[in-house]
Structure 1
């Protein structure tokens, strides 16, 4: 079987599982509410508190990281067992999860982009640098912490992911180390530069982390 049709099937199944889950629906709705609040301040032409705008920009680009874990980490053993019957490999199953996460984040960022482009230069740069940082490093965290124990896994029952340390790492991702630099005008450009640098490094490291699965 070709790879793309299988990926399409896996992604559609993932979307259906999200629509059936009350927790995931609430997670998405809470993200939407927070984004609307952020857009209220970002879209206000008379609002002059630049630091506040930058902080909100950092927060909204972090939402995909906060919201993606339910999409990726799921003990959907029945679904996975059905895929095994169709000779769909575990690696392809995980790839489909990753593709869905990327799609979710890109749509999220695309919707916000027109509003962000109305802001000042530093807010625009913060937004795109943050999007690069959060997307690449969240993928690394997912692939690294989703590496399962191949010796203990029972393919007939469920695909169990390793949650060890994931929540703590997600908090670090949501509040990047360079964020305090935004509070001083002279260091903001360094903070944006660090996020771009870490984002590029993340793209390079992602290939390594996906091999750990």
Structure 2
């Protein structure tokens, strides 16, 4: 095979793997009735891309995805319920600022809520990388590790936040591109960023 042929094959194989992973995520998301499928499907997706980042792109995809999905179904949904409560509390506080505080301090209250909300969102996103990489006995340890990544590596968290915002802008303004790249590309970038942090702390 020529050099150009190898490049074309590599590109085609990479595109195929990301598309296949997107389809698996959607399939298992639906299998969990949406609400109960989102967390385990996303954890399984992050686990797969972790193996790719480690240098094993051709391990059996469906069987491993199913194993990861089933293995983290209960625990990931418990964490999902926790974050749902946290986000709801943040939303309620945001909604009632105008009712309980003087107009002169609204900006400062909104600023505090925004800060807390940002930390919560980044902790939530880091939870997937942490669950994909570590095996803790206690569910609370995943929360501690995910939050620790935000506070211990604020610049890394900022980089992830920029990626999240860029991804949302693409989804809103270029839905066809968003459908093409899917959630697997988003997960791959986030996992790559966190995996580099794990390596620095000799946690790989």
Query: How does the TM-score come out when normalised to structure 2?
Result: 0.35
Task: Give the helix-richer structure, 1 or 2.
Answer: 2
